[in-house]
Amino acid sequence: MNKINLTTQRKAILDIIQQSHDHPTAAEVIERLREQGRQFAYGTVYNSLRYLTDMGLIRELKLGEAASRYDARTDEHQHIVCRRCGRVDEVLTDIPAAWLEAVARETGYAIDRAQAVVEGVCAECRNSGK
Amino acid sequence: MNKINLTTQRKAILDIIQQSHDHPTAAEVIERLREQGRQFAYGTVYNSLRYLTDMGLIRELKLGEAASRYDARTDEHQHIVCRRCGRVDEVLTDIPAAWLEAVARETGYAIDRAQAVVEGVCAECRNSGK
DNA sequence: GCAATATTTATACTAAATCTAAATATAAAC
DNA sequence: GTTTATATTTAGATTTAGTATAAATATTGC
């Protein structure tokens, strides 16, 4: 059951996200589709992004910007955003379990997961702009 | 220099946020002002929230919901959101510095700060709904 | 009090995303 | 292999959160 139904549109959108390494927004997905000569209805892109997210094929990132970004990496990991150029990179070092346990003790919550957005300046920006 | 100019409107909005312990959104601030019999222009509330944030009197929280929330606690701390009822609580246990150092090594970024949103189920929801 | 500056107000506008209903496409039943 | 049922796509309207603009009002410095 729960078979994944990858229509032409959904497959094209999934491909874009899997081939991009900069966590594109919905608007950027539409732009890249157009570069490939494809064009789907606005709503179809949003529907597909939600479908792919629900099916666990991609992840929706809410990093505090106006628009959500999408990531082909679906394993638990965090993100770091450059304050200067806005680029978003993966953070694969896990948040310490001991911290989550301390938070559970402090708050009385049963914790499912933690989403961290680290802010800083990327190596490239530091070298160029000073 | 940089004197803080607290107009009637800004003071009223600051008071609301300082008296609320549930991190209200702009819409909720407007609602609570109306309950007090006050009503400011829509844009004034947004301008004031930005002014108060810029002045460091409140903090803007972007927790992945559509709307920003505002917090009278301006010291560095994190937040935890209940998946069931949506309440937002403070997390005062600091993110381990060692993790941030590991992230800096991994990514090559100079890190300014980290914002974490922990998700779980609050004690109240666990006891009631099961 | 009067000019200069800052703030508020009402309104228009923008961006991101969702909703709706009709049109298509796909799958299931016979 | 049509017919029926279900799922998906489409175009366009709608919603939500927030910003921009320009006139009106308030505040400050002389």
Task: Catalogue the E-assigned strands of A10-73.
Answer: 59-61, 69-71
Q: Measured between CB atoms, which of B89, B92, B112 is closest to A119?
A: B112
Q: Distance (Å) from CA A5 to C1' D7? A: 10
B-chain residues near A92 (CB < 8 A): 106
Judged by CB atoms within 8 Å, which residues 37-66 of B form the interface with A? 62, 64
User: Cα(A77)–Cα(B18) distance, rounded to whole angstroms?
Assistant: 34
Q: What pLDDT, on the 0 to 100 scale, is given for residue A64?
A: 92
Which residue of B lies nearest to A67 if distances are taken between CA atoms? B66
What's the rounded mean pLDDT across residues A8-15?
97
> For C9, which residue's CA is nearest its C1'?
B41
Q: What pLDDT, on the 0 to 100 scale, is given for residue B23?
A: 96
What's the rounded mean pLDDT across residues A79-92?
94
Other Cβ atoms less than 10 A from the Cβ of A127: the count is 9
B-chain residues near A118 (CB < 8 A): 100, 103, 107, 109, 111, 113-115
Q: SS3 for A119?
A: strand
Mean of the per-residue pLDDT values of chain A = 94
CB within 8 Å: A114 and B118: yes
Other Cβ atoms less than 10 A from the Cβ of A33: the count is 18
Q: Is the dihedral of CA B82, B85, B73, A116 positive or negative?
A: positive
Q: What pLDDT, on the 0 to 100 scale, is given for residue A76?
A: 92
Domains of chain A listed by start with CATH number = 8-71 (1.10.10.10), 78-129 (3.30.1490.190)
Q: What pLDDT, on the 0 to 100 scale, is given for residue A48?
A: 98
A-chain residues near B69 (CB < 8 A): none
CB within 8 Å: B109 and A92: no
* Strand pairing class (A59-61; A69-71): antiparallel
User: Cα(A27)–Cα(A64) distance, rounded to whole angstroms?
Assistant: 16
Contact (Cβ atoms closer than 8 angstroms) between residue A49 and residue A58:
yes
**CA B42 from centre of chain:** 19
**pLDDT exceeds cutoff 90 at A42:** yes
Q: SS3 for B90?
A: strand
Q: What pLDDT, on the 0 to 100 scale, is given for residue B98?
A: 96
A-chain residues near B119 (CB < 8 A): 111-115
Instruction: Going from the first residue of chain B to its last (130 residues), give the mean pLDDT of each consecutive group of 10, the final group possibly shorter.
Output: 85 97 96 95 97 96 95 96 94 97 97 95 86
Buried b (16+ CB within 10 A) or exposed e, A39-52: ebeeeebeebbebb
Q: Measured between CB atoms, which of A107, A117, A121 is closest to B80?
A: A107
Other Cβ atoms less than 10 A from the Cβ of A98: the count is 11
Question: What pLDDT, in 10s, does the model give residues A45-65?
Answer: 999 999 999 999 999 999 999
- Percent of chain A at pLDDT > 90 equals 93
- Percent of chain A at pLDDT > 70 equals 97
Q: Across chain B, which distance is largest between two alpha carbons, in Å? A: 55
Q: Residue B128: what residue type?
A: S
What's the rounded mean pLDDT across residues A74-98?
95
What's the rounded mean pLDDT across residues A83-103?
95
User: Cα(B33)–Cα(B9) distance, rounded to whole angstroms?
Assistant: 10
Counted across chains A and B, CB pairs separated by less than 8 A come out at 117
Q: Look at the block and give the residue holding tokens 């961290």.
A: A116
Two tokens at A56? 């666990």
